[in-house]
Amino acid sequence: MKQILIRATGMLAAMSVVCGLAYTLLVTGIGQVFFPWQANGSILEIDGKTYGSQLLGQPFADEGHLWGRIMTVDTSSFTDEDGQPVMYAWASNKSPAGEEMEELVAQRVEALRASNPAMADQPIPVDLVTCSGSGLDPEISPAAAAYQVPRIAAARGISEEEVQKIIDQYTTGRFLGIFGEPRVNVLQVNLALDGILKEG
Amino acid sequence: MNALIQYALYLIILVALAIPLGSYIGKVMNNEPVFLSKILRPCEKGFYRILGIHEDEEMGWKKYAACSLAFFFISLFVLTLILKFQDLLPWNPQGMEGLSWHLAFNTASSFATNTNWQSYSGEVTLSNFSQAMGLTVQNFVSAGAGIAVLFALIRGFVRTKASAIGNFWVDLTRSVLYVMLPLSLVMSIALVGLGVPQSLGGNITVDLLEPLAVDAEGNVITGAEIDPEAGTVTLDGALVEDAQIITKQIVPLYPQASQVSPKQLGTNGGGILGNNSAHPLENPSPASNLLEMISLLLIPAALCFTFGRNIKDKRQGIAIFLAMFILLVIALGVIGASEQAGTPQLAQNGAVDIAAGEGNIGGNMEGKETRFGITTSSTWAAFTTAASNGSVNSMHDSYTPIGGMMTMLQMQLGEVIFGGVGCGLYGMIGFALLTVFIAGLMVGRTPEYLGKKIGPKEMRMAVLVCLATPIAILVGSGIATLLPSTIESLNNAGAHGFSEVLYAYSSAGGNNGSAFAGMNCNTPFLNCSLGLVMIFARLVPMVATLAIAGSMAQKKKVAASAGTLSTCNPMFVFLLILIVLIVGALSFFPALSLGPIAEFTQMIGIG
Query: pLDDT tens digits for B411-434?
Result: 999 889 999 999 999 999 999 999
**B48: confidence class by pLDDT, cuts 50, 70, 90:** very high
> Assign residue B512 a region: left if phi > 0, alpha if psi is -120 to 50, beta otherwise?
alpha
Asked if the model's pLDDT at residue B607 lies above 60, the reply is no
- Would you say residue B1 has pLDDT above 80? no
Q: Which of B503, B475, B472 is nearest to B490 (CA)?
A: B503
Buried b (16+ CB within 10 A) or exposed e, B583-600: bbeebbeebbeebbbbbb
Q: Give the mean pLDDT of B1-24.
A: 96
- Alpha-carbon distance of B521 to B507, in angstroms, equals 12
Q: What is the largest CA-CA distance in chain B?
A: 91
Domain ranges of chain A: 2-37, 63-193
User: How confident is the model over A69-78, as a mean pLDDT?
Assistant: 93
Complex ipTM above 0.90? yes
Residue A114 in contact with partner chain B when CB distance is under 8 A:
no
Torsion angles phi and psi, residue B328, rounded to 5: -65, -45
Interatomic CA distance for residues B93 and B227, integer angstroms: 33
CB spacing of A96 vs B346 below 8 angstroms: yes
Distance CA B66, CA B453 (A): 26
- Residue A8: which pLDDT band, with cuts at 50, 70 and 90? very high
Contacts of B444 (CB under 8 A, 6+ apart): none
Nearest-CA neighbor of B131 among B263, B247, B242? B263
Our CA angle for B71, B296, B515, nearest 5°, is: 80
Give me the total of CB pairs closer than 8 Å, taking one residue from chain A and one from chain B: 411
Nearest CB among A27, A142, A175 relative to B188 is that of A27
Summarised one tens digit per residue, pLDDT across range B317-328 is: 999 999 999 999
Shortest Cα distance from A158 to chain B (angstroms)? 21
Contacts with B142 (C-beta within 8 Å, 6 or more apart), sequence order: B75, B111, B112, B113, B114, B266, B268
One-letter amino acid of B455: G
Q: Is the dihedral of CA B480, B485, B491, B497 positive or negative?
A: positive
Angle, alpha carbons B64-B68-B69 (nearest 5°): 115
pLDDT above 80 (res A164)? yes
Counting every residue written for chain B, the total comes to 607
Q: Cβ(B266)–Cβ(B140) under 8 Å?
A: yes
Q: How far is A83 from chain B (nearest CA, A)?
A: 12
For chain A, what is the mean pLDDT? 95
Domain boundaries, chain B: 19-198+256-296, 204-251
Say what the pLDDT of residue B217 is.
84
Q: Give the tens place of pLDDT for each residue, B163-219.
A: 999 999 999 999 999 999 999 999 999 999 999 999 999 999 999 999 999 988 888
| Pairing outcome for strands A49-53 and A72-79 | unpaired
Q: Name the residue facing B210 among A34, A65, A80 (closest C-beta).
A: A65
CA dist., res. A51 & res. B484, Å (int): 47
Give the separation between CA B443 and CA B441, rounded to whole angstroms. Answer: 6
- For residue B292, the surrounding DSSP H or E stretch is helix B286-310
Question: Which of the residues B118, B126, B249 would you substitute to probe the A interface, choosing the one with the greatest number of A C-beta atoms within 10 Å?
Answer: B249
pLDDT surpassing 60 at residue A200: no
Comparing CB atoms, the residue among B205, B257, B517 nearest residue A27 is B257
Q: Do residues B383 and B327 touch, judged by C-beta distance below 8 A?
A: no
